[in-house]
Chains A and B, each alone.
Chain A
Amino acid sequence: MRTRRGVAVAAAETRFLSLPFPPIPRGPPILPRGAANWRQELRVIYQCFVWCGTPETRKSKAKSCICHVCGTHLNRLHSCLSCVFFGCFTEKHIHEHAETKQHNLAVDLYYGGIYCFMCKDYVYDRDIEQIAKEEQGEALKLQASTSTEVSHQQYSVPGLGEKYPTWETTKPELELLGHNPRRRRIASSFTIGLRGLINLGNTCFMNCIVQALTHTPILRDFFLSDRHRCEMPSPELCLVCEMSSLFRELYSGNPSPHVPYKLLHLVWIHARHLAGYRQQDAHEFLIAALDVLHRHCKGDDAGKAASNPNHCNCIIDQIFTGGLQSDVTCQACHGVSTTIDPCWDISLDLPGSCTSFWPMSPGRESSVNGESHIPGITTLTDCLRRFTRPEHLGSSAKIKCGSCQSYQESTKQLTMNKLPVVACFHFKRFEHSAKQRRKITTYISFPLELDMTPFMASSKESRMNGQLQLPTNSGNDENKYSLFAVVNHQGTLESGHYTSFIRHHKDQWFKCDDAVITKASIKDVLDSEGYLLFYHKQVLEHESEKVKEVNTQAY
């Protein structure tokens, strides 16, 4: 193939004269099929001078594509289609050539468009457009296959080297449009996106998580714009494909409850420990589901590939993965050893659990994050503060210090190094200790909007002796989150029921109780006990830059 192209390159440079392009009249362009091989000659021109896919063609383009009059490679360079002449458009050098030689057609070397000097405009022929599209596609594929650079936003490119083509309606699509001529505008009263889920036997734990995930704005956008390209050896076992299908079902506008039997089946196959008809933990299901989705995004059927979350670019990691920083400070030399681990959620100990101790009395700090802070009531912020406070590891848990070369007492502190787009907080309400098995039903107040700034690694320095420096009025929106889903558990450890609240159309909340969906007030949501809380970042940063490039208001 390459040798043929090599020969063709030489041919293109010397033998243009067989192209029989006479002027095309205005109106639907028709190309005379004079020379038998005009198609092939045109392809050669595209390959050599417009869309170069191989090193040889690139070399020839670099060398020869300059204006024969002024030598520029810019200024909308065109190639004459009747002879070997390159002229720039802006300085009218190609126009002079066309006039002098009566060669009335030229091709734009940047975009591949055909210009007619008699019509004084670009002209379009269906066959030529088809050839152009094919050659451009070929060149892109060649370019992508030899490129060693991983495209920085992999998920936005459908397939390697494929571009988003313009939508040209196919016959079935035209029919579909004919049958559905009415445009649907989403008004705030619309219930599209709200759909109950039938309980298949203690599967409320699964239904709640499905409701939360299908109402995660950025995940919804991903699936509803068909971004998933299945790479699983057997697509019928792909959980991501099923997720895609679930989104389609829930956003179809169909009001009757959906029966998620296929999802349950896939869960049984891929997360054996959650199989069976017993009630399971919704949090466990969330983590298992995210794990399977993450693996299936990369076509990993058996879970064998030890995927490195730091380099994974799948949609799950892009949305849910945050970086939890752990700093261990040696009390002898004050050297700090830092590790950053990926995390999909933050599990918080609650007051009253036998593993925790709560040193400070609530009510010390005034209301942070707008939480209703009644003395005696703990807030989410309190829990996060406790989670990120420096902890003395005690004399029975000495850590080997690298610089001291001996075991020393140390303090450990957890903070957020990298914030995920969607932050999930889990209250550890279920106690399975040796002493007892019980549910902690303490009410924890949580806010509608949450600022994660005080809990970040970068804010660590401003915290002295465990005293929290609160942002008074940080104009910095980068770390602000909005609540969009809450999963609640009613009942006891042995028998209970899960329900969820989800946010719809910015300010409406709905309670999802398996197949029944009812309108709820913000007060209902904020007064609920809370087991899993889902927060969505308000501002999304451009991945490759620290500076905000894209400013998307999710809410």
Chain B
Amino acid sequence: MVVSKMNKDAQMRAAINQKLIETGERERLKELLRAKLIECGWKDQLKAHCKEVIKEKGLEHVTVDDLVAEITPKGRALVPDSVKKELLQRIRTFLAQHASL
């Protein structure tokens, strides 16, 4: 029932995701990404932005949802191209090795 609601694209994405999780590659990619985003200062930038939002909304009233809504677009935009490139390259390599997908 659930599968029929997903189109081909989403099915492919789900299949790739499964493979990534099963092999533990997803965790490795997560760690790599985490390290890269810290190195290039992305984490610090967003942390500063979070602090601003908290100051604005007040510590007692702000929720995690507020923060997520505020920083998600900014976070996505600020990821450096080189980081995206490297992650994509890693995923491509992974897919090439698991050609059965």
Chain A interface residues (CB < 8 Å from chain B)? 52, 55, 58-59, 61-63, 65-73, 76, 113, 120-122, 143, 146-147, 149, 153, 156, 542, 545, 547, 549-550
Chain A positions within 8 Å of B2 at CB level: 66-71
Chain A, residue nearest B34 (CB)? A163
Chain B positions within 8 Å of A59 at CB level: 22
Q: Are B65 and A121 in contact (CB under 8 A)?
A: yes
Within 8 A of A (CB), among B1-29: 2-3, 5-6, 10, 14, 17-19, 21-24, 27-28
Q: How far is the CA of A147 from the CA of B3 in the complex (A)?
A: 33
Q: How far is the CA of A120 from the CA of B64 in the complex (A)?
A: 9
Which interface class (under 10, 10 to 19, 20 to 34, 35 or more) fits B?
20 to 34
Q: Are B35 and A153 in contact (CB under 8 A)?
A: yes
Q: How far is the CA of A491 from the CA of B37 in the complex (A)?
A: 53
Q: Are A545 and B63 in contact (CB under 8 A)?
A: no
Chain A, residue nearest B41 (CB)? A550
Q: Are B10 and A143 in contact (CB under 8 A)?
A: no
Interface flags, B50-75, vs A, CB<8A=1, else 0: 00000000000001110010000000
Q: Are A147 and B17 in contact (CB under 8 A)?
A: no
User: Is B40 close to A, CB under 8 A?
Assistant: yes
Q: How far is the CA of A71 from the CA of B13 in the complex (A)?
A: 11
Q: Are B21 and A545 in contact (CB under 8 A)?
A: no
Q: Are B21 and A62 in contact (CB under 8 A)?
A: yes
Q: How far is the CA of A146 from the CA of B27 in the complex (A)?
A: 12
Chain A, residue nearest B66 (CB)? A121
Chain B positions within 8 Å of A61 at CB level: 21
Q: Are B21 and A71 in contact (CB under 8 A)?
A: no
**Residue in A58, A67, A76 whose CB lies within 8 Å of B21:** A58
Chain B positions within 8 Å of A120 at CB level: 63, 65
Chain A positions within 8 Å of B5 at CB level: 70-71
Q: Are B64 and A58 in contact (CB under 8 A)?
A: no
Q: How far is the CA of A143 from the CA of B27 in the complex (A)?
A: 8
Q: How far is the CA of A122 from the CA of B3 in the complex (A)?
A: 30
Q: How far is the CA of A70 from the CA of B14 in the complex (A)?
A: 12
Chain B positions within 8 Å of A76 at CB level: 68
Chain A, residue nearest B18 (CB)? A62
Q: Which 5 pairs across A and B sit closest by C-beta, in order of nearness? A: A62-B21, A62-B18, A71-B2, A121-B63, A62-B22
User: Is B82 close to A, CB under 8 A?
Assistant: yes
Chain A, residue nearest B11 (CB)? A71
Q: Are A147 and B39 in contact (CB under 8 A)?
A: no
Q: How far is the CA of A65 from the CA of B86 in the complex (A)?
A: 27
Chain A positions within 8 Å of B82 at CB level: 545, 547, 549
**Residue in B10, B24, B39 whose CB lies within 8 Å of A146:** B24
Q: Are B14 and A58 in contact (CB under 8 A)?
A: no
User: Taking the nearest CB of chain B, how far is it from the CB of A88, in angstroms?
Assistant: 12
Q: How far is the CA of A143 from the CA of B2 in the complex (A)?
A: 31
Q: How far is the CA of A549 from the CA of B23 in the complex (A)?
A: 29
Q: Are A71 and B40 in contact (CB under 8 A)?
A: no
Q: Are B24 and A143 in contact (CB under 8 A)?
A: yes
Q: Are A71 and B14 in contact (CB under 8 A)?
A: yes
Q: Would you mind naming 22 contact pairs between A and B with Cβ atoms under 8 Å apart?
A: A55-B24, A58-B21, A61-B21, A66-B2, A68-B2, A71-B6, A72-B14, A73-B14, A122-B63, A122-B64, A143-B27, A146-B24, A147-B24, A149-B28, A153-B35, A156-B35, A542-B39, A545-B82, A547-B82, A549-B39, A549-B40, A550-B40
Q: Are B39 and A550 in contact (CB under 8 A)?
A: yes
Chain B positions within 8 Å of A71 at CB level: 2-3, 5-6, 10, 14
Q: How far is the CA of A72 from the CA of B27 in the complex (A)?
A: 18
Chain A positions within 8 Å of B65 at CB level: 120-121
Q: Are A147 and B18 in contact (CB under 8 A)?
A: no
Chain B, residue nearest A65 (CB)? B21
Chain B, residue nearest A63 (CB)? B18
Q: How far is the CA of A66 from the CA of B6 in the complex (A)?
A: 12
Q: How far is the CA of A550 from the CA of B41 in the complex (A)?
A: 10
Q: How far is the CA of A72 from the CA of B52 in the complex (A)?
A: 32
Between A58, A66, A76, the greatest number of chain B beta carbons within 10 A of the residue's beta carbon is seen for: A58
